[in-house]
């Protein structure tokens, strides 16, 4: 095993690198502004009101949805579709490629989602109630808006991408799953460019707020910026957020040919299932998922520099993950842990992809952004190396590990490395 990991020993056609990033987050619509606000500890959580539930809190995106869409496209489409289009277009632009000059039959779109269709169905039933539920007034756009492939499909239509497009339903593990799928398709030769990541329009469905509220897992706080507080003893639930983050992935061999800028390289990944409970995480399975990703990357736990935790701010979920983290990283000095949800809330299907983006610049600046809102650390979440309330300069960063776990016991772990080589 190479001290730098097994991924560097693969042929360049099997090494997958990140060459473009497009994102929309509650506290930034491009990587530079998003990163700066994370380093400053600036929250994007706001007061929010939604039908039936009333006043609550949410992470709300404020991106320019007219940049790449006409008014007609927006009327026909969905919020998730707008997020997908914006992020995919921005990722291509950021990569330095010209959309008009790429082979669009060799480009694939692989987007993770938590759920899709609830927003449109809820809205249309509400509108229908004004017509005494006469289905003659039901929208003829309902089917294309609510099919599961809609977010990726809207991007394919908008961009003229004629390669494969589909979404990966993986609950809150979906952002990682989209990236994993894109990397696998590149390694199989199914495409030459992969637009991969995750999107979520979850704040526009009242059902997700109502369900978390009935579960006792919906965050509340008099100060919206302090509502999302993973690891804090007084945490009281999840802040639901919308967002999107899409990466342009390429084989290293192709990126070299065009002299592309490389943000990082996919070093290892794993997915598994708890198979034990609908919502309560299983720390043993989470541990196994992290260990499998490390094994595939050819790394020891102590070689990871930053662990981006999944912790959502629920009383039991944070503790379960910490049990798994302690089992994997016990005795591994020099590993730092942070949490992005403390600043943007839980962006569901986009969470993993956005959390990776928030940490990727550490390869350049050596800074680990903090977990904010930890006034009193829960003793059961006390992990050595947890970066709290203020960003920390940790020096050279070579490896990031991102945890994303979801309902019905789906787990995903993705390891990204600093690119080791020259273009």
Burial degree of 15 (CB within 10 A; 0-12, 13-18, 19+):
buried
Tell me the C-alpha distance between 148 and 316, whole Å: 30
Domain span at 284: 269-417
284 and 238: one domain? no
Of 236, 257, 278, at which residue does a domain stop?
Answer: 257
pLDDT for 3 beyond 60:
no
357 and 384: one domain? yes
273 and 395: one domain? yes
| 5 domain residue, yes or no | no
pLDDT classification of 7: cutoffs 50, 70, 90: confident
65 and 107: one domain? yes
Buried b (16+ CB within 10 A) or exposed e, 380-407: ebebebbbbeebbebeebbbbbbbbbbb
242 and 300: one domain? no
Tell me the per-residue pLDDT of 15-26, one tens digit each, with 9 for 90 and over.
999 999 999 999
31 and 118: one domain? yes
| 4 domain residue, yes or no | no
223 and 169: one domain? yes
| 11 domain residue, yes or no | no
129 and 149: one domain? yes
pLDDT classification of 1: cutoffs 50, 70, 90: very low
| 390 domain residue, yes or no | yes
34 and 67: one domain? yes
293 and 393: one domain? yes
Tell me the per-residue pLDDT of 349-389, one tens digit each, with 9 for 90 and over.
999 999 999 999 999 999 999 999 999 999 999 999 999 99
290 and 406: one domain? yes
Q: How many domains does the chain have?
A: 2
| 2 domain residue, yes or no | no
Segments in 96-149 forming alpha helices (H): 118-129, 142-146
Which CATH number characterizes residue 111's domain? Answer: 3.40.47.10
Phi/psi at 119 (nearest 5 deg)? -60, -50
Please give the average per-residue pLDDT across 128-149, as a whole number. Answer: 96
53: its two tokens: 């539930």
For residue 109, list its beta bridge partners.
165, 195
């Amino acid at each position: 095993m190479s001290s730098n990991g097994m991924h560097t020993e693969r042929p360049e056609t099997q090494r997958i690198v990140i060459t473009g990033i497009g994102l929309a987050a509650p506290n930034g619509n491009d990587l530079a502004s998003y990163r700066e606000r994370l380093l400053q500890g600036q929250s994007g959580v706001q007061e929010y009101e939604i039908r039936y539930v009333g006043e609550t809190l949410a992470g709300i995106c404020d991106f320019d949805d007219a940049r790449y869409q006409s008014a007609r496209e927006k009327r026909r489409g969905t919020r998730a579709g707008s997020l997908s289009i914006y992020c995919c277009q921005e990722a291509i632009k950021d990569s330095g490629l010209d959309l008009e000059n790429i082979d669009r039959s060799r480009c694939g779109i692989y987007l993770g989602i938590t759920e899709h269709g609830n927003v449109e169905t809820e809205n249309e039933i509400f509108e229908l109630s004004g017509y005494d539920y006469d289905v003659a007034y039901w929208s003829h756009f309902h089917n294309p808006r609510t099919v599961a492939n809609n977010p990726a499909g809207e991007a394919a239509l908008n961009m003229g991408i004629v390669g494969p497009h589909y979404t990966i339903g993986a609950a809150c593990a979906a952002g990682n799953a989209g990236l994993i799928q894109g990397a696998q398709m590149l390694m199989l030769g199914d495409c030459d460019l992969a637009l991969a990541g995750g999107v979520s329009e979850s704040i526009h469905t009242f059902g997700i707020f109502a369900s978390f509220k009935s579960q006792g897992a919906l965050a509340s706080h008099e100060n919206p910026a302090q509502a999302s507080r993973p690891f804090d003893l007084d945490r009281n639930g999840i802040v639901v957020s919308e967002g999107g983050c899409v990466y342009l992935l390429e084989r290293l061999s192709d990126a070299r040919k065009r002299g592309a800028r490389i943000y990082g390289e996919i070093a290892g990944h794993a997915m598994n299932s708890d198979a034990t409970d609908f919502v309560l995480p299983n720390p043993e399975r989470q541990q196994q998922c992290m260990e499998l990703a490390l094994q595939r990357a050819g790394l020891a736990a102590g070689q990871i520099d930053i662990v981006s935790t999944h912790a959502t701010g629920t009383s039991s979920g944070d503790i379960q993950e910490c049990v798994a983290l302690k089992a994997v990283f016990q005795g591994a000095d020099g590993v730092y842990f942070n949490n992005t949800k403390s600043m943007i809330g839980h962006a569901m299907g986009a969470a993993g992809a956005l959390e990776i983006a928030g940490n990727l610049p550490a390869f350049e600046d050596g800074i680990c952004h903090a977990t904010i809102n930890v006034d009193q650390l829960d003793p059961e979440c006390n992990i050595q190396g947890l970066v709290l309330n203020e960003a920390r300069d940790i020096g050279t960063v070579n490896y990031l590990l991102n945890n994303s776990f979801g309902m019905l016991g789906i787990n995903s772990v993705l390891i990204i490395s600093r690119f080791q080589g020259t273009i």
